[in-house]
Each structure stands twice: as structure tokens, then as C-alpha cells.
Chain A
Amino acid sequence: MRPTRKPRSSPSKVLPKALSGIQGFDEITAGGLPSGRPTLVSGGAGSGKTLFGLEFLVRGATQFHEPGVFMSFEETVPDLTKNAASLGFDLSRLVAEKKLFLDHVHISRSEIAETGEYDLDGLFIRIADAVQRVGARRIVLDTIETLFGALPNPAILRAEIRRLFSWLKDKGLTTIVTAERDRPEKLTRHGIEEFVSDCVIVLDHRTREEISTRRLRVVKYRGSTHGTNEYPFLIDEHGISVLPISSLGLDHPAPTARISTGITRLDGMMGGKGFFRGSSILMSGTSGTGKTSVAAHFVDAACRRGERCLYFAFEESPRQVVRNMRSIGIDLEPWLSKGLLQFHAARPTYAGIEEVLLVTHKHIARFSPHIVVVDPITNLLTVSTLNEVRSMLTRLIDFLKTKEITALFASLTAAGGFLEANEADISSLMDTWLLLKAIEVGGERNRALYVLKSRGMDHSNQIREFVLTDHGLRLLDVYLGPDGVLTGSARVSQEGREKAAGTTRRQQLEGRGRELDRKRQIFEARMTMLRAEFEVEEEVIQQTIAESKLLDKELLHDRGQMVRSREADVTAYTNGKPTHAARRR
């Protein structure tokens, strides 16, 4: 699939090539068309042959200094100019600058009668004249087979066309010969491929399941390696793009900056910092697992940081997303009106996959967002096969990575199937893979999230339950029970049990506290009583003491008086207080 450039050891051995300038084409042919030789571009009606030829000439004239001649056997010059304008090519300017020469060869069978031998010298002379006028290096003959319908005697015609091709080769003109392919088993209607042996390209515009896709295939390229796949291609106002972005190498930058997922605990699950900037994140889950909600958180967080977000909604309309996200407390409306958030909503079925890819690229190029959300990529499978989606995503991711845009891809997994199997292909392109899972336990369905992989960072290996609340998404620990993780009411009942046990303990504790209080109260009451008793006793005792003191005093007094009256030796009666009595003396 990936052509490698031939080593240029000796230039004479390498087939010289002329860059077509057609985006992506030169990559798959490793350098363009065989230089100085004819190439057959075959395809059904409306497959883009003429435009292919035109772009080859225009690019040659504008980018590679190779003027060209367009010999049209079908469309008139004004028609051609008009058609080219739709691809953004200004043919009349190139003609005026003598970089391009347009000639319309018109022959109507009704005007022609054959009256003997003829040759195509008239055409040769016209071509030679045109080539000489602009110094052409490239020429397109679109569609020379028309001559078979206009001129009699096919035998002469075939010989003359053979002569024409060898003449073009002699002149060293890089030639594109277009041919109508009306039956799949034949390359051209009149078998002119036998004259063009070097390079054959088939363009195809087919409809499968009501969706049309343009494809290009290099059927043959003598002396050169080339991609043999069928490559989808697009025609838009910038011309043809085969594989719109085909970076065949893997040399995009790898920023180390991290950005929040918008969900704190999810950041926590990824080393506390969130995603790498510029990484690609796959978020897969069955329907109703909350993919859009996770995406909305991510977008909301990015807009809060002032970053631009581009949201490709392939399933819901922008209004619907905004309304639904409001129910979990995320208001995206301000970001929309500020221009930080842009929605692009369309059902991919409106066009083929390459159209979707083109539109995606165009929007990204125009808005240059920091963050891109594609919700969901699985809807692309409805327009294409897994292989095509994979190759489209490869190109899209390559493109995003070179621009350092962080991309979140939601992927809807088929319910009931083994979740990972479906996306195994896609997942290898992704740096981080979040898996949203519905866990069915005890007759209910709950949401769980885990990080399946995340390149280049620590990440939690735990399954987290998450609930959508009015205030956004909340991640919860899951309880591990004997039957595995517990979610939903199993978790709630486990929580309940723990709560009940807690309550009992608390009640016991409270009871003990109250008992202590009571005891303290009793103790204090007793203390009060004792103190009261003591005080009563103290009072009584004090009184007794005071009374007895008084009595003593009176007794002494009386005795003194008696002594005085008896004039007895006082000291004999003052044993207790001799000084007192003596001093008084």
C-alpha cells in the first residue's frame, strides 16, 4: 500500500516521472506520471477523467513550469473553461499567459463523407501547432476515441492513433489520454489501451447501497512501483484530492502537554493530568453508556480554557446535543455564541465516505480547532466498510496529529457483542481508549468506565462507576463484592449496609457519651449534697467552738473576779494562759 521511492542509484535506470500536482496522486505513484509518455485514464461517464486531465495541466503550468495543451474532443472551450472554474482553475488567465492552449476538435459524422484514403495529418498539425505555441511539455487528449464515432474506416483510424502516440512519445510529451469505459470488462470502448502500454489509471464512480464513491486505481505502471489499492478521491473547489491527506510517514510531533478531560476523577485515573494534547482518544461503548456526556465534559472544559472545539455530530442535531447536555448541568450555549464551539452535524449517509472526509478536513482547516470530537465514528460504517473507515481514520488522525489537535472519537459498539472486537482495528490508531460499559447486575444496568489503554502515561486499571447527575458526570468507586464489582443498587445497598453499621456504632458511642454525662451529673449532685452536709456540720461545729470560747472567757472572767475577791495566787489558776494573766497583772 505504501509505495517507496526507488533508490536513485543511477538516473538512467529510473523511469523519469512528471509530478501531476494532484493531491495524493503523486504519493501513490511515487512521483507522478511517466514523463514523456502517454498515460491512459479510463473511466465511466462522470468519473472525473476530464478534470483529472485539466488539473494535470493546470498544476503543470502553475507549479512545475510545464505548459500544456488540452485537446478536447467533446467539450467546447467555453464549457471547459466554465467547468474548470468550478475547480478553482482560471483557464483563460493561463491561456492569456501562454501557459496553456485549449483546442476543441469537433467533428460531426453528418458532415463527413469518406471518398478514399485519408490520414490524421490535420490533427497532428493542429497538435504540433498548439504544442509549439506554448512550448508544451504536457498534453491531454480528451477523449480521442470520439474520432471512432465521427470518422469512417476504423482500420485507418487505429493506425493513425498508433502513429499519433509514437509521435507524442518522440516529442517527449507527457500525455494523458482519456477513454470512456462503458463495460467493466473492458478498459476502453475501442481498445486504445493497446497503444498505451506504460501507465493505465482507472477512475470509478460507483454507487453502493445508494451512496456513491469515487475511486482511483493504478491498474498498470510499467517500470514503477505503485499503490495497487483503490483509492477514494474527491473533486471539490480545490481540484482533485486522492486520499486527501496522505502522510505516509509517521513523523508528527508528540507534545507532552496534558489537558483535562473535564472530569476531575477521570483526570485522576490518568495520572491526574488528563489526555496528552494532540492525542487521539477512542471512547467506545454500547448505546446509552454516556459517550456524548463524556464528550460534552471534555468540550466544556476545553472551552473554559478558551480553546476552540469542533464537534462533528453524526447522530444528533446541535440543538439536541445542547438540550440534552443541559440536563446534566453542562451549558454549551455560551460557548456556541462565543464562537469557541462549532457544531457540524450531518448524517454521513448524505454522501460517500470521501465526501465526509473532505467535509471534515475542510471544517478543520477553516476553524483550526484545538479539539475535535467525532460522535460517533461508527456511523461512518453505514456509508462504508470497516476497511474504508479505518483508512479514512488513519488519514484523519494523521492530519489531526500534524496539527496537534486533540481528537475524541466516540464509537458505538453493538450491544451484546464482544465490545473490544469491533474496534480492535481502529483502536491501534488511538493513543487512549476509554471504555464505557454497561454492567448488568441484579436486574439493572449501570454505567462503568475504565481506561483500557493510554499510551505514555500512568493510568488507573480500575473500573469506575459513573452516574449522570444534574451537575454533570460523577465517577464513583465501585464496590468489590464476592460477585465482582458492585454498581447501582447493589452498590447502594452495600453503602446502606455500611451506613447502617456506622449508625449503630455511632448510636453506641452516643449512648456511652450520655451515660458518662449522667454519671457526671450524679457525681456532681452528690458532691453538692456532701458539700451542703459538710457546710451544715461545719457551721454547727464553728458555732460550738465559738460558744465554748465564749464560755471559757466568761469562766475566766468569773474566776478572775473570784480570785480578785479572794486575793489568791492567780498563777495557780492560769495554767493555760499564764502570760495573759501575768500581763494583766
Chain B
Amino acid sequence: MPRRKIARSAKPRKPTVWKLKLYVAGQSPKSVRAFANLTVLCEQHLKGRYQIEVIDLLEHPHMARGDQIVAIPTLVIKLPAPVQKIIGDLSNTDRVLVGLALQQVV
């Protein structure tokens, strides 16, 4: 799977900052859960090295087009490159860590 490759190649670079964008739709339960899960994870693993931008598509619907958002919630990892998208409420911590290049696929 391509995802595995990305995770490996990203790891040795050890990025200094994680730029994250979380797309949500208002205060839907999934959106709220995703934000909570993400902040917990970042506090644990990337303390002081991350930026989270939360975009509420209900308020800015046109922004869905730029990042090609279809599913909600979607986490877009802008940095470290390459850009990745993680969909869902981020309850599967292992997968999120893989996406963040913090962990290899188990």
C-alpha cells in the first residue's frame, strides 16, 4: 500500500513543525469528537510543534473545494509533505499516528 511507503520515507526527515487543517461541519458529534481526539494526540506526541487550523465548512462552504473535501471530518496534513488526508473522527489513534509520520504501520 502506498500509505506505508509515505510513512517510511517521511520518518527520517524529522520535521520541525506539523501543519494541520481540520475540516468540520459545525458542532456535529463527529466533528467535535475529531477535534478532541486530535488535540489529545498532538499534545501527547507533538507538543509545541504543531499548528491546528479548524475550518467550519458550514461557515466557509467554498473552502471545501480548495482541499477537495468530501468527507467530514477530514484532517489535512499539510506538513510534513506530502499532503495527506485522514478522514473520520480520528478515533483510530494508530492510523492517525501513521498519517502524522510518527509511527510505522503495525
Binding site for B on A (CB under 8 A): 103, 105-107, 110-123, 125-126, 128-129, 147, 150-151
Option from B23, B72, B95 in Cβ contact (under 8 Å) with A114: B95
| Residue numbers in A under 8 Å from B64 (CB-CB) | 122, 125-126, 129
Option from A113, A115, A126, A147 in Cβ contact (under 8 Å) with B61: A126
CA gap between A456 and B27 in the complex, in Å? 79
Within the complex, the shortest CB–CB distance from B93 to chain A, in Å, comes to: 8
| 25 interchain pairs, CB-CB under 8 A | A105-B70, A107-B68, A107-B70, A110-B3, A111-B84, A113-B95, A115-B88, A115-B90, A115-B95, A115-B99, A117-B30, A117-B89, A117-B91, A119-B72, A120-B71, A122-B23, A122-B25, A122-B70, A122-B71, A122-B74, A126-B65, A128-B61, A129-B64, A147-B70, A151-B70
Task: Give the most central of B69, B70, B73, B85: most A CB within 10 Å.
Answer: B70
Closest-by-CB residue of B relative to A128 is B61
CA gap between A409 and B65 in the complex, in Å? 57
Smallest CB-CB A-B distances: 10 pairs? A116-B88, A129-B61, A121-B72, A116-B91, A122-B69, A116-B89, A121-B25, A115-B88, A115-B92, A118-B71
| Residue numbers in B under 8 Å from A111 (CB-CB) | 83-85
| Residue numbers in B under 8 Å from A128 (CB-CB) | 61
Closest-by-CB residue of B relative to A103 is B65
Binding site for A on B (CB under 8 A): 2-3, 23, 25, 28, 30, 33-34, 37, 57-58, 61-62, 64-65, 68-75, 83-92, 95-96, 98-99
Within the complex, the shortest CB–CB distance from B64 to chain A, in Å, comes to: 5
| Residue numbers in B under 8 Å from A107 (CB-CB) | 68, 70
Within the complex, the shortest CB–CB distance from B97 to chain A, in Å, comes to: 10
Task: Check B2 against A110 for contact (C-beta < 8 Å).
Answer: yes
Given contacts A125-B57, A125-B61, A126-B64, A116 and B90 within 8 Å (CB-CB): yes
Task: Check A129 against B70 for contact (C-beta < 8 Å).
Answer: no
CA gap between A112 and B68 in the complex, in Å? 11
Task: Check B68 against A114 for contact (C-beta < 8 Å).
Answer: no
* Majority DSSP secondary structure for residues of B touching A: mixed
| Residue numbers in A under 8 Å from B34 (CB-CB) | 116
* Majority DSSP secondary structure for residues of A touching B: mixed
CA gap between A125 and B24 in the complex, in Å? 11
Closest-by-CB residue of B relative to A107 is B70
Task: Give the most central of A122, A126, A129, A147: most B CB within 10 Å.
Answer: A122
Given contacts A110-B3, A115-B92, A151-B71, A121 and B83 within 8 Å (CB-CB): no
| Residue numbers in B under 8 Å from A112 (CB-CB) | 85-87
| Residue numbers in B under 8 Å from A121 (CB-CB) | 25, 28, 57, 71-72
| Residue numbers in B under 8 Å from A123 (CB-CB) | 70-71
Task: Check A113 against B69 for contact (C-beta < 8 Å).
Answer: no
Task: Check A114 against B70 for contact (C-beta < 8 Å).
Answer: no
Task: Check A115 against B87 for contact (C-beta < 8 Å).
Answer: yes
Option from B68, B74, B89 in Cβ contact (under 8 Å) with A106: B68
Within the complex, the shortest CB–CB distance from A312 to chain B, in Å, comes to: 51
Within the complex, the shortest CB–CB distance from B68 to chain A, in Å, comes to: 5
Within the complex, the shortest CB–CB distance from A148 to chain B, in Å, comes to: 12
Within the complex, the shortest CB–CB distance from A406 to chain B, in Å, comes to: 58
Closest-by-CB residue of B relative to A157 is B71
Task: Check B68 against A105 for contact (C-beta < 8 Å).
Answer: yes
CA gap between A457 and B62 in the complex, in Å? 71
| Residue numbers in A under 8 Å from B95 (CB-CB) | 113-115
Task: Check B85 against A122 for contact (C-beta < 8 Å).
Answer: no
Closest-by-CB residue of A relative to B69 is A122
| Residue numbers in A under 8 Å from B25 (CB-CB) | 121-122, 125
| Residue numbers in B under 8 Å from A126 (CB-CB) | 61, 64-65, 69-70
Task: Check A129 against B62 for contact (C-beta < 8 Å).
Answer: yes
Task: Check A117 against B88 for contact (C-beta < 8 Å).
Answer: yes
Task: Check A114 against B65 for contact (C-beta < 8 Å).
Answer: no
CA gap between A112 and B2 in the complex, in Å? 10
Closest-by-CB residue of A relative to B96 is A115
Within the complex, the shortest CB–CB distance from A143 to chain B, in Å, comes to: 14
| Residue numbers in A under 8 Å from B89 (CB-CB) | 115-118
Q: A107-B68, A107-B70, A120-B72 are in contact. List 18 more A-B contacts (CB 8 A).
A: A105-B68, A111-B84, A112-B85, A113-B98, A114-B87, A114-B88, A115-B91, A115-B96, A116-B37, A116-B88, A118-B89, A119-B30, A121-B28, A125-B72, A126-B64, A147-B70, A151-B71, A151-B87
CA gap between A112 and B3 in the complex, in Å? 9
CA gap between A126 and B58 in the complex, in Å? 10
CA gap between A108 and B76 in the complex, in Å? 13
CA gap between A34 and B88 in the complex, in Å? 36
Within the complex, the shortest CB–CB distance from B69 to chain A, in Å, comes to: 4
| Residue numbers in A under 8 Å from B92 (CB-CB) | 114-116
Given contacts A121-B25, A125-B64, A126-B65, A113 and B87 within 8 Å (CB-CB): yes
CA gap between A129 and B87 in the complex, in Å? 21
Task: Check B86 against A113 for contact (C-beta < 8 Å).
Answer: yes
| Residue numbers in A under 8 Å from B84 (CB-CB) | 111, 113
CA gap between A414 and B90 in the complex, in Å? 75
Given contacts A114-B95, A125-B58, A119 and B85 within 8 Å (CB-CB): no
Within the complex, the shortest CB–CB distance from A470 to chain B, in Å, comes to: 77
CA gap between A112 and B99 in the complex, in Å? 9
Closest-by-CB residue of A relative to B29 is A117
Within the complex, the shortest CB–CB distance from A341 to chain B, in Å, comes to: 57
Task: Check A115 against B86 for contact (C-beta < 8 Å).
Answer: yes
CA gap between A147 and B70 in the complex, in Å? 9
Option from B2, B57, B58, B72 in Cβ contact (under 8 Å) with A118: B72
Within the complex, the shortest CB–CB distance from A580 to chain B, in Å, comes to: 165
Within the complex, the shortest CB–CB distance from A288 to chain B, in Å, comes to: 68
Within the complex, the shortest CB–CB distance from A226 to chain B, in Å, comes to: 34
Given contacts A112-B85, A113-B87, A125-B61, A118 and B68 within 8 Å (CB-CB): no
CA gap between A147 and B33 in the complex, in Å? 24
| Residue numbers in B under 8 Å from A106 (CB-CB) | 68
Closest-by-CB residue of A relative to B5 is A110
Within the complex, the shortest CB–CB distance from B82 to chain A, in Å, comes to: 8
CA gap between A126 and B63 in the complex, in Å? 9
| Residue numbers in B under 8 Å from A116 (CB-CB) | 30, 33-34, 37, 88-92
